[in-house]
Amino acid sequence: MKFGGIVPVAVLLLTTASCRVDAPVSDAQAQLDRRAPMNQENVMQTSKPSDNEIVLTRTFAAPRETVFAALTQAEHLVHWMKPTDMALVACEVDLRVGGTFRYVFQRPGGFKIEVRGAYEAVDPPRRFVYTETYDFSPLKVLVTTALDVADEKTVLKQTLGYSSKQERDEDFDGVATSATEAYAKLERYLAQIVGGI
């Protein structure tokens, strides 16, 4: 089965944590899912800088610490990191070098997809590096996420490293599509946090 890129955003916490999200989607969540991205400045940029890499770049109108929290804390993650027609039903995270993470996504019909990973570097709120694997694919991706500050905004640069050009090419369209969708949801969620909603 080719799933094509659950966005490789680590579900990170400072200590091991668990969450379950079994409740139906709220009206507020449905609105968050439907709204268009906030503005054109924050459009996802996707590139192939080498034969085995994909680089995703996206600017968020929020402080770096807030973006890091939204990327790394389960209480935030459950509000935005859900592919269309899937629910995040479980997450387990241990944010430290050598720590691991696991998330389970479920389709309406009950089919589940599991994503696992191990952290290789953690430097809050600037950077984290992990290896990501999937229960539905032999793919193993090295993901480096860097958060930089520019003009009071946060620039996310995520580099996905593959073992071959073929793996990178086969995953590219799925990653580009899912990252664009997920980070648009993250932008809208950040606007709620920053706006105090």
**CATH code, 89:** 3.30.530.20
When pLDDT is cut at 50, 70 and 90, the band that residue 3 belongs to is very low
For residue 143, list its beta bridge partners: 130, 160
Instruction: Provide the mean pLDDT of the chain.
Output: 81
Q: Is pLDDT of 1 > 90?
A: no
Report d(CA 68, CA 190) in Å as an integer.
11
Total domains present in the chain: 1
Q: State how far the alpha carbon of 23 is from the alpha carbons of 17, 26, 89, 130, in Å.
A: 19, 8, 9, 30
Q: Is pLDDT of 5 > 50?
A: no
Q: Is residue 29 domain-resident? A: no
Q: What mean pLDDT do residues 187-195 have?
A: 91
Report d(CA 151, CA 42) in Å as an integer.
13
Least confident of 22-26, 57-61, 166-170, 181-185: 22-26
Q: Is residue 94 domain-resident? A: yes
Q: What is the pLDDT of residue 41?
A: 58
Q: Is residue 48 domain-resident? A: yes
Q: Is pLDDT of 188 > 90?
A: yes
CB 160 within 8 A of CB 48: no
**What is the model's pTM?**
0.79
Structure token pair of residue 48: 């192939």
Structure token pair of residue 65: 């610490």
Least confident of 1-5, 57-61, 116-120, 164-168: 1-5
Q: What mean pLDDT do residues 149-167 have?
A: 97
Q: What is the pLDDT of residue 69?
A: 85
Q: Is pLDDT of 72 > 90?
A: no
CA 67 to chain centroid, in Å, comes to 11
Q: Is pLDDT of 189 > 90?
A: yes
* Structural domain that includes position 63: 17-21+42-194
Q: Is residue 179 domain-resident? A: yes
Q: Is residue 72 domain-resident? A: yes
Q: Is residue 28 domain-resident? A: no
Q: Is pLDDT of 166 > 80?
A: yes
First to last CA, the chain: 39
Could you give the 3-state DSSP secondary structure of residue 12? coil
Q: What mean pLDDT do residues 133-137 have?
A: 94
- By residue count, the chain amounts to 197
DSSP 190: H
**Interval 29-55: pLDDT, tens:** 444 444 434 444 568 999 999 999 999
Which amino acid does the sequence have at 28?
A: A
Q: What is the pLDDT of residue 135?
A: 95
